[in-house]
């Protein structure tokens, strides 16, 4: 779930037509024609679908805007481009005659019991990269399933540069603007770095700490020296947690954003 109230956005089939030439040039993950093909029963949203064998599949590498729930959560509205993402994934599945290539990730399943997997169309192209290249989701990376992170990064960067979809008017927060937990893109300055048995803690100016758990610190250190980040402006993405009701003594910040892979943190000029 992204943060803050949804903005109004006009989404139409013309959007898809306008990005097709751009997409062809930039969504270039390795082709896969060697995968078992599975039948899709239903596309739930822009990053989740159900197979005819009953399994639910969560796409690896992309987090699509949330659709409003059919029941409960009175007043909840779909986030911008949520329906466009669902329709586009549906169209990609239909273009492959309802059957997609399934590459199950190393993690296997998420905490909701969904199969974590990459999906591929009849043409061997990665479906997550196609959604990212059209601006219909945000790139995410969760170790150990980061094999396609480089090409997903390239696909998203192209959409971001062109201002497509969610990047037309991106919601990028500062720590002070956080109001609830959920998926967010946040920018801020690293004020302090601490390393302990719990991992690596990057305290930003304001009520937010970025956390790298101990199991992921080695991968994080391989890309950057944590101490060098002090004073740097960074952009982080991930699922923000509200610590105010937990009495967590490891950080003085109300909000904690766990970094699930090194690429979920980027330094800014």
Residues of the chain with pLDDT under 70: 1-27, 68-76, 245-251
Other CB atoms within 10 A of residue 61 CB: 31
State both tokens at 206.
């304001």
- What confidence score (pLDDT) does residue 72 get? 40
- What confidence score (pLDDT) does residue 21 get? 42
- What confidence score (pLDDT) does residue 7 get? 39
- What confidence score (pLDDT) does residue 115 get? 97
Residues 6+ away with beta carbon under 8 Å from 194: 200, 201, 203
Q: Of the candidates 91, 166, 90, 171, which has an alpha carbon nearest to the alpha carbon of residue 135?
A: 166
| All domains of the chain in start order, with CATH | 13-167 (2.40.50.90), 172-267 (2.40.50.140)
The CA distance from 13 to 84, in Å, is 8
- What confidence score (pLDDT) does residue 73 get? 46
Residue that has been written with the tokens 């987090």 in this structure:
63
- What confidence score (pLDDT) does residue 65 get? 93
State both tokens at 225.
């020296």
- What confidence score (pLDDT) does residue 163 get? 97
pLDDT digits (tens, 9 = 90+) for 201-212: 999 999 999 999
pLDDT digits (tens, 9 = 90+) for 103-144: 999 999 999 999 999 999 999 999 999 999 999 999 999 999
């Amino acid at each position: 779930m992204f943060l803050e109230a949804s903005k109004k956005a006009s989404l139409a089939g013309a959007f898809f037509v306008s990005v097709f030439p751009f997409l062809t040039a930039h969504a270039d993950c390795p082709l896969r024609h060697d995968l078992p093909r599975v039948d899709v029963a239903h596309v739930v949203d822009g990053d989740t679908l159900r197979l005819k064998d009953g399994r639910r599949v969560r796409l690896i590498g992309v987090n699509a805007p949330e659709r409003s729930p059919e029941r409960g959560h009175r007043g909840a509205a779909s986030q911008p481009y949520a329906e466009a993402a669902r329709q586009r994934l549906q169209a990609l599945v239909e273009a492959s005659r309802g059957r997609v290539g399934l590459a199950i990730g190393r993690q296997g399943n998420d905490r909701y019991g969904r199969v974590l997997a990459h999906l591929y169309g009849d043409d061997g192209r990665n479906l997550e990269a196609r959604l990212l290249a059209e601006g219909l989701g945000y790139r995410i990376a969760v170790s150990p399933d980061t094999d396609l992170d480089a090409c997903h990064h390239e696909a998203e960067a192209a959409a971001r540069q062109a201002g497509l979809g969610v990047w037309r008017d991106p919601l990028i927060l500062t720590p002070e603007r956080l109001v609830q937990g959920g998926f967010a893109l946040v920018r801020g300055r690293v004020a302090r770095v601490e390393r302990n048995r719990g991992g690596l803690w990057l305290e930003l100016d304001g009520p937010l700490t970025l956390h790298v758990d101990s199991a992921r610190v080695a991968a994080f250190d391989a890309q950057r020296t944590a101490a060098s980040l002090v004073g740097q402006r960074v952009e982080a993405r991930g699922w923000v947690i509200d610590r105010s009701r937990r009495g967590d003594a490891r950080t003085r910040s109300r909000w904690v954003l766990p970094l699930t892979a090194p690429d979920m943190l980027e330094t800014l000029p």
